[in-house]
């Protein structure tokens, strides 16, 4: 991965807003900027190419054909355009005709994890946890809208005033959210979370300072011990990545069922059934929720159930499953602290609309869940485990918990990097002896308080 950010790849980035739209003059064309030429060539190609024929071709072939046509056209239009410029122009034209326009190069760049179009001239991207403003410019809101239609049309979805918000997926698995005026008044807006096929392992997470090696050992033991574990964090804090890495510790002999909306996990075990929720179709029919899938999964003889992210009433069925013999379940929840995570789950159970008194729900929570791993993304872009918290029971109306590991921040260095360390709190988990009983060896030092380092 490139260590320097600006100037790498086909698009530029800057942390500050560019004063004017960048305009790259084309040699041999006085004062015609690149994007103007791309637009003109796009129009000409649309007229020259047979749209029906092109759309029925396999993607690679289609790209090659459009590339050839663009090259021929460019030789005619700008005979003396130089090598790099020529390749850039042809690339941009092809992206317009068959790709996702100005953001296509970003989407292909494996070091970019997120692409965010707020407005035609306001395109951000994320690389290694840090958000940058790019110099990418759509021509206008219609241009953004046209790319949106290209994203959703193959999926049989539509975006218009009556349904101004749509979730979609690119062929490579990347997730897309689109929201258009009048709900986002300034401009149609696109948010793309890139799909990464190269999932991080626990070793990668240790190398990325997300977790400390001994804590990882501890969590490995917890997965083996079949503790019900929730991974908590805000959007993009790495919950799904962490869950995926943790799942590697599930023994291969077990039958795993994953439930997601949409699918993101890539488990390495051979015996996995992956289920995916489905939104309603245009007529509002055919929806299959995570809750439907979870209920069905109980009839599929699971050894482990993994719910990619609990968001709604399926929380009720999840707790039930955890409490009735499906131990070792893993899931993630969108929350900013372990305590907040519990409150979220409690609220989601209420969404199941069963009129359960909150005390009864909390008892369910307290007995079902064993462990919460809290993640946060810090200002230096590093995702860190901030808490590993054990749920210990109930005291009166309150679910009790104790932190086993925490991240202690001690400062920020001159480059803005967070200084601190992860440490055990010195509290031994109530299930510590179960490790021994299960024949799982953990070094004693795991639970010792560390100072500095
Ligand atoms: N620990 C990590 N260190 C660096 N990058 C990470 C880490 N965890 C996740 N990422 C990257 O951050 C992005 C969001 O990760 P994801 O697991 O989908 O987050 P969440 O599920 O919390 O929304 C992905 O591009 C992923 O590759
Ligand atoms: Mg996620």
Secondary structure element (H or E) that encloses residue 25, with its range: strand 25-26
Query: C-alpha 262: how far from its chain's center?
Result: 10
3-class DSSP state of 408: strand
Task: Report the Cα–Cα distance between both ends of the chain, in Å, rounded.
Answer: 27
Q: Give nearest CA residue, ligand 1 atom 6.
A: 238
pLDDT at 129: 79
Residue 22 has what pLDDT?
A: 44
* The token pair that represents 160 in the structure block: 């218009």
Give me the pLDDT at residue 271, please: 97
Identify the pLDDT of residue 157: 84
Helices (H), ranges, 111-200: 141-152
Q: What is the CATH number of the domain that holds 115?
A: 3.30.450.380
> Looking at residue 24, what is its pLDDT?
55
Angle between helices 239-247 and 213-224 (to 10 degrees): 60
Please say whether the beta carbons of 173 and 240 come within 8 A: no
Q: Note whether 382 and 439 are same-domain residues.
A: yes
Q: How far apart are CA 125 and CA 286, in angstroms?
A: 35
Residue 244 and residue 359 in contact, taking contact as beta carbons nearer than 8 Å: no
Cα(323)–Cα(365) distance, rounded to whole angstroms?
9
- 70 phi and psi, to 5 degrees? -65, -40
Can you give the pLDDT at residue 17?
A: 44
pLDDT at 32: 61
* Cα–Cα dist 159/286, whole Å: 19
* 243 and 140 housed in the same domain: no
Among the three residues 149, 168, 193, which one is the final residue of a domain in this structure?
193
Instruction: List the structure tokens of 369.
Output: 């869940």
6 assigned to some structural domain? no
Instruction: Give me the pLDDT at residue 453, please.
Output: 54
- Please report which ligand is nearest the Cα atom of 261: 2
- The whole-angstrom distance between residue 131's C-alpha and the CA centroid of its chain comes to 14
* β partners of residue 383: 377
Name, in order, each residue with C-beta under 8 angstroms of 97's C-beta and a sequence gap of 6 or more. Answer: 42, 45, 46, 49, 66, 70
Give me the pLDDT at residue 95, please: 94
For residue 372, give both structure tokens.
């919460």
Are 115 and 214 found together in one domain?
no
Residues of the chain short of pLDDT 70, as ranges, are 1-32, 453
Does the C-beta of 174 come closer than 6 Å to ligand 1? no
Q: What is the pTM of this model?
A: 0.74
Q: Which residues contact 43 (CB under 8 A, 6 or more apart)?
A: none
**How many separate domains does the chain show?**
2
In short, whether 240's Cβ falls inside 6 Å of ligand 1 is yes
Residues 206 and 188 in one domain: no
Q: What is the pLDDT of residue 306?
A: 98
Helix (H, G, I), strand (E, B) or coil at 366: helix
Eight-state DSSP code of residue 155: G
Query: What range defines the domain where residue 215 resides?
Result: 202-447
Ligand 1 neighbourhood includes 210 CB (under 6 angstroms) = yes
Q: In the block, which residue shows the tokens 């033991």?
A: 221
One domain for residues 173 and 259: no
CATH number for the domain including 385? Answer: 3.40.50.300
Mutate to test the pocket of ligand 1, among 125, 196, 238 (most ligand atoms within 8 A of CB): 238
What phi, psi does 27 have (nearest 5°)? Answer: -60, 140
Structure-block tokens of residue 6: 């600006």
What distance in angstroms lies between residue 238's CA and the mean position of ligand 1's atoms?
3
Q: Which atom of ligand 1 is nearest to the CA of 194?
A: 25
Range list of β-strands (E), 301-397: 304-307, 330-334, 371-377, 383-395
Q: Is the CB of 266 under 6 A from ligand 1?
A: no
Kindly state whether residues 350 and 326 are assigned to the same domain.
Answer: yes
Of 162, 193, 224, the position where a domain reaches its end is 193
Measured in angstroms, how far is the CA atom of residue 241 from the centroid of ligand 1? 5
Residue carrying structure tokens 């979870």: 294
Residue 88 and residue 130 in one domain: yes
236 CB less than 6 Å from ligand 1? yes
Q: Which run of H or E residues covers position 423?
A: strand 418-424
């Amino acid at each position: 991965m490139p260590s320097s950010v600006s100037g790498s790849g086909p698009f530029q980035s800057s942390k500050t807003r560019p004063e004017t739209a960048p305009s790259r003059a084309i040699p041999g064309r006085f004062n015609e900027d690149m994007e103007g030429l791309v637009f003109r060539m796009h129009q000409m190609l649309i007229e020259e190419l047979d749209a029906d024929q092109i759309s029925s071709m396999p993607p690679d072939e289609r790209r090659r054909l459009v590339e050839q046509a663009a090259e021929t056209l460019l030789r005619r239009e700008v005979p003396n355009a130089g090598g790099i410029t020529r390749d850039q122009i042809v690339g941009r034209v092809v992206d317009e005709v068959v790709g996702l326009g100005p953001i296509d190069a970003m989407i292909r760049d494996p070091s970019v994890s997120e692409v965010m179009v707020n407005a035609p001239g306001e395109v951000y991207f994320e690389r290694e946890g840090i958000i940058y403003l790019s110099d990418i410019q759509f021509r206008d809101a219609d241009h953004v809208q046209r790319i949106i239609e290209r994203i959703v049309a193959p999926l049989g979805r539509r975006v218009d005033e009556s349904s101004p918000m749509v979730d979609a997926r690119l062929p490579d698995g990347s997730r897309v959210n689109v929201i258009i005026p009048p709900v986002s008044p300034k401009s149609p807006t696109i948010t793309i979370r890139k799909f990464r096929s190269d999932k991080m392992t626990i070793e990668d997470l240790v190398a990325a300072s997300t977790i400390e090696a001994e804590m990882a050992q501890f969590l490995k033991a917890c997965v083996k011990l079949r503790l019900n574990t929730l991974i908590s964090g805000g959007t993009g804090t790495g919950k799904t990545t962490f869950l995926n890495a943790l799942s590697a510790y599930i023994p291969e002999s077990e039958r795993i069922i994953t439930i997601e909306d949409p699918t993101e996990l890539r488990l390495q075990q051979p015996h996995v059934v992956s289920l995916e929720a489905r939104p309603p179709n245009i007529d509002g029919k055919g929806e299959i929720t995570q809750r439907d899938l979870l209920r069905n999964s109980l009839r599929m003889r699971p050894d482990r159930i993994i719910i990619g992210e609990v968001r709604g009433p399926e929380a009720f069925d999840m707790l039930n499953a955890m409490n009735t013999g499906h131990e070792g379940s893993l899931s993630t929840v969108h929350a900013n602290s372990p305590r907040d995570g519990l409150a979220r789950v409690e609220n989601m159970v209420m969404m199941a609309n069963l009129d359960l008194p909150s005390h009864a729900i909390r008892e369910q929570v307290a007995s079902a869940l064993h462990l919460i791993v809290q993640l946060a993304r810090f200002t230096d872009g590093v995702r860190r485990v901030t808490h590993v918290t054990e749920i210990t029971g109930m005291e009166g109306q309150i679910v009790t918990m104790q932190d086993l590991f925490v991240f202690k921040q001690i400062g920020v260095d001159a480059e803005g990097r967070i200084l601190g360390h992860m440490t055990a709190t010195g509290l031994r988990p109530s299930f510590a002896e179960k490790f021994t009983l299960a024949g799982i060896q953990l070094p004693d030092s795991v639970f010792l308080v560390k100072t500095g380092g």
